[in-house]
Amino acid sequence: MQATDGSRSDIRPARSVRAAVLTAVGEPLRLTRIELPDPGPGQVRVRLAAAGVCHSDLSLSNGTLLAPVPAVLGHEGAGTVVSVGEGVTGVRPGQKVVLNWAPACGDCPFCRLEEPWLCANANAATTTPYARTEEGQELYPALTAAAFAEETVVPERAVLPLPEGVPLTDAALLGCAVLTGYGAIRHSAKVRPGESVAVLGIGGVGLAVLQSARLAGAGQIVAVDISEEKEELARAAGATDFVVASEATSKEVKRLTGGLGADVAVECAGRAETIRAAWSSTRRGGRVTVVGIGGKDQRVSFSALEIFLSARTLSGCVYGNCDPSRDLPELAEHVRAGRLDLSALVTGHIGLEDIPEAFEAMLAGRGGRALVVFGDGEDGGGRN
């Protein structure tokens, strides 16, 4: 764009939308209006229909995960393409899409190893301001997506066309919770039919892990959570047994699994004691997958002898070890066939102003996934 004084300018026309802004780590989110520019080359503007409130958003707000601030949080979302920038060919205005918070570059060492979930450049967009407050302060897009807003602007690689037959509002969950839970079972733990699975931490991701374990044909699925109120949710998602977390968690899981322990344990809380409990809940030769994001001060200890004797495998799991472009169509088919119930993961539809309460519920261990719904939920809520 040519400025009036003859110099060059990269400032693009902007429109005002409502957003929940993290002004500083540890501060409450501020509901305000932001100035969102039209998409530039290789970018896509999306009107959000819904955005899930994920534990990673809480981790960004309290500093467990680090990102530039001030920022618009939210990374699990779905909506409708409003406009596209120069060179965009993969999506078009009016198309329904799911946001991909970790878009792989396709060219780094990890991508060349066919491990796009570890892409070294996946979050490159998070370090570049993408919008401004009405006062002119630059804003960053947390985890690329900046989905806690009526509209967002993201790189083309950060949108995935939504397959037909999936409700747009529920589709928001596919962008994080479901891909992560499904991938933890299918790609990381590689659960086989008939195996026993213990799932520790029954939030949004934990519920997706339970449904995915059922899809994989697990014979016994033990759900573990600090809140006994989660039992009904857990059983509806596929759990055959429920354990209230305590110091005796591993003993109880072993008792329920014939004294051996589970073949697979999936940890979804990101806490040292829960990871340790998951390890101790598995049989000799069992597999432990850690999905939860813990703080750097969370230390887990194992003795050299027990590692040898137990012959267990412990592995981390980023984004479900998924390739979203491959796995999203698979998940959509499960949804269409009724094998995967996205709405069962949602324990509340809320507005942008309710996100702090959703964070509090998360900290207290209540509920599954809170879903921010914009407008009527199907067409989104962005307005000028």
Residue 222 domain-assigned?
A: yes
- Pair (148, 268) in one structural domain: no
Q: Are residues 285 and 314 located together in one domain of the fold?
A: yes
**174 lies in a domain?**
no
Render pLDDT for 50-91 as a digit per residue (tens, 0 to 9): 999 998 999 999 888 888 999 999 999 999 999 999 999 999
Shared domain for 20 and 152, answered yes or no, is: yes
Has residue 167 been placed in a domain? no
What does the pLDDT read at residue 8?
Answer: 35
pTM (2 d.p.): 0.91
Same domain, 28 and 141: yes
Q: Are residues 117 and 196 in the same domain?
A: no
Same domain, 311 and 363: no
Say what the pLDDT of residue 378 is.
63
Mean pLDDT computed over every residue of the chain: 92
Q: Which one of 318, 336, 362 terminates a domain? A: 318
Structure confidence at residue 380 as a pLDDT band (50, 70, 90):
low
In a shared domain, residues 24 and 84: yes
> 275: domain range?
179-318
Say yes or no to pLDDT of 9 above 50: no
For residue 249, the model assigns a pLDDT of: 97
Instruction: Write out pLDDT tens, residues 148-169.
Output: 999 999 999 999 999 999 999 9
Kindly state whether residues 130 and 234 are assigned to the same domain. Answer: no
**In the predicted model, what is the mean pLDDT of residues 342-366?**
91
pLDDT digit string, tens, across residues 345-354: 998 999 999 9
Does residue 380 sit within a domain? no
Number of structural domains, the chain? 2
CATH code (residue 87): 3.90.180.10
Look at residue 96 and tell me if it is in a domain.
yes
Please state the rounded mean pLDDT for residues 191-209.
97
Given pLDDT bands bounded at 50, 70 and 90, which one contains residue 379?
low
Whether residues 37 and 128 share a domain: the answer is yes
Q: Give the pair of three-digit tokens for residue 311.
A: 């012959």
Q: Hey, what amino acid is at 120? A: A
Query: How high is the pLDDT of residue 6?
Result: 38
